[in-house]
Amino acid sequence: MKSPVTSDAVQSEIDHLYRNEARKVYASLIRLLGDFNLAEEALHDAFSTALTQWPKEGIPANPSAWLVSVGRFKAIDHLRRQKRQVEIVSELRDDPNDTSFISNRTESIPEFDEQVIEDDQLRLIFTCCHPAIDAKVQVALTLREVCGLTTEEIASAFLTSPSTMAQRIVRGKAKIREANIPFQIPSETELPDRIESVLSVIYLVYNEGYSASAGEHVTRSDLTAEAIRLARLVRSLLPDAEVSGLLALMLLNESRRGARTDPQGDIVLLEDQDRRLWDTALIQEGIALVQSALETRNIGYYTLQAAISAVHAQAADMASTDWLQIVSLYSLLLQVAPSPVIELNRAVAVAMCDGPQAGIEIVESLLEQKVLQTYHLTYATYGELLSRAGRVQEAVSAFEHALMLTQQAPEQRILKRKLALLTTP
């Protein structure tokens, strides 16, 4: 234990830990306690204890492990108090109720081993993605419990309502409890059948970090870093082509982080980005992973998206981008995983090859689908293509509709700038 430190230093360290380590601590507490709600309460008890003890005793050498250990003891104390309360009520009522279920819970809590906590989030992902849980529930539950996304953020990623998403999360927790689903990484023979849901989770976590669904910031580096870390962990367990493809996709997208926003935090579109700011080390690693995945001939959803990102990464600018290849890759992607969002992205590539009118026709057909009528990027894309085609009034209307739908402040600002350019005499 270090020497005592100031309250400000402790508060700063605790804030940092809560932002970056809380979900890891939570995952370890779930493994130890076997209960989501008890682990949540223990997590908050541990952080509260740190606030009072660390100014006097100093910050521990391994703060995360300290939090897990304290949280575990707090949970045991809670269960013991609960048992004693039941005993007192039983004595007052002269009713010899069996309280062994509480004592058994206390006795079943394993000892804390600092050496095994590193992969607890990965264990929790596989628990939440167990085949006994409905596929839609798996991803929502893992995003909530492993990564700490809010119900609203998860609902946005799925283009559904927060109430629907909340119901899925509740059902998932109940299923884990009722089916006594184990908190463990599957065996080598089970891994291939369990990997698809895990990759879906990691992909959606990254997407939320790469383009936050709401708020003042375009990106959330904590989520993108965590998604990449988890993908590397999964790849160490199973060096499958699609695992490599997903990791490549995230690395290639992450390589553009430094160029995606200006000093004020506003969005810089791909065509305007200073490509000298792109991270060449991430690009090289990503391209190597794409090539290795393509060589397996087991080409899937993530590998195809990574291949598209690789084409962008290798181009000197928008004009020299091989848009025909990108259209072809999107066409393949639609065969592998039909999706209106993929069709929207393909429309942009088609417009770059064949002119804005070709893209407009695709977007207009997509707007007939209900799912894209609440997606702000549909109207932002439509507005951009209309603007390039010289249809100013229609473009203004589309951008205004996109502005009404988006909840992210930087996207709102860029839409307002586009509107200003079109409406200012």
Q: Measured on CA atoms in the order 208, 212, 215, 219, is the torsion positive or negative?
A: positive
CATH C-level class of 120-178+192-218? mainly alpha
What tens-digit pLDDT sequence spans the chain (425 residues)?
A: 455 677 888 899 999 999 888 988 999 999 888 888 899 999 999 999 999 999 989 999 999 999 999 999 898 888 887 766 655 555 544 555 544 444 455 455 555 555 555 678 888 888 998 888 988 888 888 888 887 888 888 887 676 889 999 999 999 999 998 898 888 888 878 887 788 888 988 888 888 778 765 555 556 777 788 889 889 988 887 888 999 999 999 999 999 988 988 887 788 888 889 999 999 999 999 999 999 999 988 889 999 999 999 999 999 999 899 999 999 999 999 999 999 999 999 999 999 999 999 999 999 999 988 888 889 999 999 999 999 999 999 999 999 999 999 887 888 888 999 999 998 87
139-177 burial by CB neighbour count: b if 16+ within 10 A, else e?
bbbbbbbbbbbebebbbbbeebeeeebbebbebbbebbe
Distance between CA 340 and CA 353 in Å, rounded? 20
Q: Which pLDDT value is given to residue 111? A: 55
Q: Which pLDDT value is given to residue 102? A: 44
Residues in the chain: 425
Q: Could you count the other beta carbons within 10 Å of the beta carbon of residue 27?
A: 25
What residues have CB less than 8 Å from 362, skipping those under 6 apart?
343, 344, 346, 347, 350
The first and second tokens of residue 422, run together, are 């079109």
The first and second tokens of residue 389, run together, are 């085609």
Domain boundaries, the chain: 7-109, 120-178+192-218
Phi, psi dihedrals of residue 333, rounded to the nearest 5°: -60, -40
Q: Which pLDDT value is given to residue 99? A: 47
CB 249, CB 305: distance < 8 Å: yes
305-315 burial by CB neighbour count: b if 16+ within 10 A, else e?
bbbbbbbbbee
- The H-or-E segment that residue 397 falls in is helix 392-405
Q: Measured on CA atoms in the order 370, 139, 192, 252, is the torsion positive or negative?
A: positive
Q: Which pLDDT value is given to residue 136? A: 80
pLDDT tens figures, 333-370: 999 999 999 999 999 999 999 999 999 999 999 998 88
- Short-list 40, 48, 39, CA closest to 14: 48
The amino acid occupying position 132 is: A
CB 84, CB 59: distance < 8 Å: no
- Report pTM: 0.72
Q: Which pLDDT value is given to residue 153? A: 80
The first and second tokens of residue 312, run together, are 């962008």
- Short-list 95, 176, 104, 93, CA closest to 137: 176
Distance between CA 186 and CA 123 in Å, rounded? 9
Q: Could you count the other beta carbons within 10 Å of the beta carbon of residue 46?
A: 23
